[in-house]
């Protein structure tokens, strides 16, 4: 059932036809079908697929947080429908908007590291500031965005640690793409000290990015045989739903579906390993 929500519509210079500021309430999918909204921003949840389908079928621009649906199969169906949609349909992957990671992508994809050997992505979040979601789905998308799309899951492991009344998750995923290996590790155990680290190693050198996942503040260091370069990046707001929707440059639904498929494969691998022990 579609959730009941209160919606605030505000004018924006990039969408001059949007209504002047107004507040309304009702069942979200019904409001979309009735033409009562100009765009939709949706977070993950079991009720969100109905809202997404309503937006896609009625030509309403939509920006979603991943996952698009409870299962990878349904996310794939939604992504297929989004490809034929008449309005923008994008996914909010906030780390893509961070300067240090945009530079990392350029460095890796331009070949400055040479043939890529290993990629390591580690994220430690504060559980009070993040939702559970699908384990590591943002990191899986980021891996594909930074490097190449054709990754295969080799290993998956997860655990839940009870701490201060929280059920906190730990996840590790091992992947391969050709001769390149990758490891993704995610946890929600840090109290007030979230940390993101990317290490990419190629035959010509190593790239290191360390930043605060909340705002992107951090450093970028490239170490090659010819020398070492370092940059420092200031922080900024990491909630670019509107900017992604306006620019139509966020991740697309296909990206979210592919990341969800990798997450599902990691879970299948984890369960198979647990059963074999």
Q: Check which CATH number belongs to the domain holding 83 and give it.
A: 3.40.50.720
Q: What is the pLDDT of residue 46?
A: 60
Examine residue 255 and state whether it is found in any structural domain, yes or no.
no
Is the same domain home to 23 and 73?
A: yes
- Token pair for 174: 């091992």
Is the same domain home to 64 and 139?
A: no
Q: Around Cβ 181, how many Cβ atoms within 10 Å?
A: 16
Q: Give the list of residues 6+ apart from residue 116 with CB closer than 8 angstroms, or none.
A: 108, 147, 180, 200, 201, 202
Is the same domain home to 184 and 205?
A: yes
pTM of the model: 0.82
Q: What's the CATH code of the domain at 196?
A: 3.30.360.10
Examine residue 256 and state whether it is found in any structural domain, yes or no.
no
Is the same domain home to 136 and 172?
A: yes
User: Taking a C-beta distance cutoff of 8 angstroms, is the pair 66, 93 a contact?
Assistant: yes
Q: What is the pLDDT of residue 145?
A: 94
Buried b / exposed e over 222-239, threshold 16 CB at 10 Å, is bbeeeeeeeeebeeeeee
Is the same domain home to 117 and 176?
A: yes
Is the same domain home to 85 and 112?
A: no
Examine residue 166 and state whether it is found in any structural domain, yes or no.
yes
Could you list the residue range(s) of the whole structural domain that residue 135 is in?
Answer: 95-237
Domains identified in the chain, total number: 2
Is the same domain home to 107 and 140?
A: yes
Is the same domain home to 231 and 245?
A: no
Cα→Cα distances 45→50, 100, 150, 192, 208, Å: 10, 30, 27, 26, 34
Query: Closest Cα to residue 209, out of 201, 219, 200, 195?
Result: 219
Is the same domain home to 123 and 219?
A: yes
Examine residue 268 and state whether it is found in any structural domain, yes or no.
no
Place of tokens 């009735």: 34
Is the same domain home to 110 and 170?
A: yes
Examine residue 152 and state whether it is found in any structural domain, yes or no.
yes
At 102-154, the pLDDT tens digits run 999 999 999 999 999 999 999 987 665 554 444 578 899 999 999 988 999 99
Examine residue 67 and state whether it is found in any structural domain, yes or no.
yes
Does pLDDT of 72 surpass 70? yes
Is the same domain home to 231 and 100?
A: yes
Rounded mean pLDDT of 90-100? 84
Q: Which of 189-198, 205-214, 225-234 has the lowest mean pLDDT?
A: 189-198
Sheet holding 89-91, edge to edge: 40-42, 62-64, 89-91, 251-252
**To 10 degrees, what angle do helices 48-57 and 72-83 make?**
10
Give the model's confidence band at 31: pLDDT under 50 very low, under 70 low, under 90 confident, else very high: confident
Is the same domain home to 88 and 135?
A: no
Examine residue 267 and state whether it is found in any structural domain, yes or no.
no
């Amino acid at each position: 059932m579609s959730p009941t929500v209160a919606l605030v519509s505000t004018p924006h210079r990039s969408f001059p036809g949007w209504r002047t500021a107004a507040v309304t309430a009702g069942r979200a999918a019904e409001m979309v079908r009735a033409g009562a909204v100009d765009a939709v921003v949706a977070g993950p949840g079991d009720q969100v697929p109905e809202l997404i389908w309503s937006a896609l079928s009625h030509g309403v621009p939509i920006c979603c947080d991943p996952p698009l649906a409870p299962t990878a199969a349904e996310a794939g169906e939604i992504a297929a429908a989004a490809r034929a949609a008449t309005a923008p349909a994008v996914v909010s992957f906030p780390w893509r908007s961070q300067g240090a990671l945009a530079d990392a992508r350029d460095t890796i994809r331009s070949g400055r590291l040479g043939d890529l050997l290993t990629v390591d992505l580690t994220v430690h979040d504060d559980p009070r500031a993040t939702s559970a979601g699908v384990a590591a789905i943002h990191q899986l998308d980021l891996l594909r965005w930074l490097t190449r799309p054709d990754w295969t899951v080799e290993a998956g492991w997860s655990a839940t640690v009870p701490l201060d009344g929280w059920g906190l998750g730990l996840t590790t995923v091992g992947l391969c793409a050709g001769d390149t290996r990758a490891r993704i590790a995610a946890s929600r155990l840090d109290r007030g000290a979230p940390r993101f680290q990317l290490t990419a190693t190629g035959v010509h050198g190593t790239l290191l990015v360390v930043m605060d996942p909340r705002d992107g503040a951090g450093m970028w260091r490239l170490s090659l045989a010819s020398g070492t370069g370092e940059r420092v990046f200031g922080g900024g707001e990491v909630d670019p739903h509107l900017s992604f929707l306006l620019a139509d440059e966020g991740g697309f639904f296909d990206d979210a579906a592919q990341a969800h498929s990798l997450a599902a494969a990691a879970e299948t691998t984890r369960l198979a390993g647990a059963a074999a022990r």
